[in-house]
Amino acid sequence: MISLARKTALGSAALALAVGMPVMAGTLMLGTYPDKLFTVDEATGKIGEKIQLPGGLPVSLRVTPDQAKIFATTITNSSVIVMDAKSHAILTQFDLNTPTERYRFNGGAPDPTGRYFYTTMMRMDKLIDRWKVSKQMYAVIDIKLQKVVRTADLEPEDDAMSGGFRAPMMVSPDGKSLYIFKEKVLVVDTAKLKVADRIDVQKPDATGYENVAFGGGVEGFQMTNGNQLVSLFTAADPYVHNKVFGLGKFDLNTRKFKFTPMGPITTGMSGLEITPDGKTGYTVVTNGTTGNKRCEFWKFDMTSLKLKDKVEFGCRSRFQLGMSGDGTKLYIYGASYDIEVYDAQTMKLEKTWDLGADATMAGMLVLK
């Protein structure tokens, strides 16, 4: 299954690298153990700020579509942090955990106003002799009141789908719908916290294909035309179930999904990074496991949707793919003490930046 990897100004990352106008190299932000956010100057590779998070280990990073605020969450105290994207000043920070209540969630999506944060979570209540664990729930966190204000259990058919807490989420521009990208796209009415529609992307527009699968994090989604999510997906034909990969486009306004097959699937694919001009895309392909594992950069022509080039690079056991703000560099990072910098044109290693701290898999933001 393809991992949707990049929690950049998406977000993925947070979420998205806008395609169109050139973007100058800027500042990177990523989480580090045990409780900090680091900023890194893209021009020099030097560490800038080391932002302390009292809430503990950061597990998700996300920037709002207007690039004004950063939302981060932690696993230690189930904290939510809201920061100013330019000054990096913490505007709001609070823990959901109490001595008798615990929450478990991994990221989520803010609504267009920034007042509410939507996620899926589980709640643990401390009883006299045990902890009582809830079912998986939709949850609305009120940033102003600093607490969970509404929840609703997932329906059994949705709870059973793969993706869990790491399923990508987006909120529609009007704030009325929460999109959760699992094996199907769940369209959740934010007022009722009920599934209004299940878009069966197992039968996309590409005739003869089924079983389109969504991967892990939001970071591999790219935003184009304001409301269109673009990423790599896998599919299988309905006859011999031969797996292929391709480019999927999902419109948040019309709820339309389009899948274009591109080639046979490999052992695994991770991330999609698109250059600011929208002409070239990159992903990481892995073949084999452990000692036999091989990793390659794949370069795509995003106009013709054809594979242009592939270059092998040194594998890591776990890593994420990122891209510089100007699209000239590729980054391999996460679960390590460094960031490997590759030239995007040649896909060859240029240098390594020492972080001096173990980076989490929370993703990387590219900030202007």
Residue carrying the six token digits 């080039």: 309
Domain presence at residue 10: no
Burial of 332 (0-12, 13-18, 19+ CB in 10 A): buried
CATH number, domain containing residue 210:
2.130.10.10
15 domain residue, yes or no: no
Contact predicate 364/13, CB 8 Å: yes
As averages over each run of 10 residues, the pLDDT of the chain (368 residues) reads 32 34 70 96 96 94 88 96 95 96 92 93 96 95 97 89 70 90 86 90 54 49 67 76 81 84 79 88 83 88 92 89 93 93 97 95 86
Predicted TM-score (pTM) of the model is: 0.85
20 domain residue, yes or no:
no
Residue 7 lies in a domain: no
pLDDT per position as a tens digit, 266-314: 777 777 888 988 899 999 888 877 677 889 999 999 989 899 999 999 9
Helix (H, G, I), strand (E, B) or coil at 99: coil
Count Cβ atoms within 10 A of the Cβ of residue 352 and give its class: 0-12 exposed, 13-18 middle, 19 or more buried.
middle
**Domain assignment of residue 14, yes or no:** no
The count of other CB atoms within 10 Å of the CB of residue 199 is 17
Could you list the residue range(s) of the whole structural domain that residue 335 is in?
27-367
Which residues, 6 or more positions from 3, have their beta carbon under 8 angstroms from its beta carbon?
215, 216, 217, 220, 268, 269, 270, 271
Mean of all residue pLDDT scores within the chain: 84
Could you tell me if residue 5 is inside a domain? no
Task: Give the three-state DSSP class for 236.
Answer: strand
Q: Which helix (H) or strand (E) holds 265?
A: none
Distance (Å, rounded) from C-alpha 184 to C-alpha 199? 6
Could you tell me which residues are beta bridge partners of residue 83? 70, 90
- Looking at residue 360, the DSSP 8-state letter turns out to be E
**Total number of domains in the chain:** 1
Residue 220 domain flag: yes
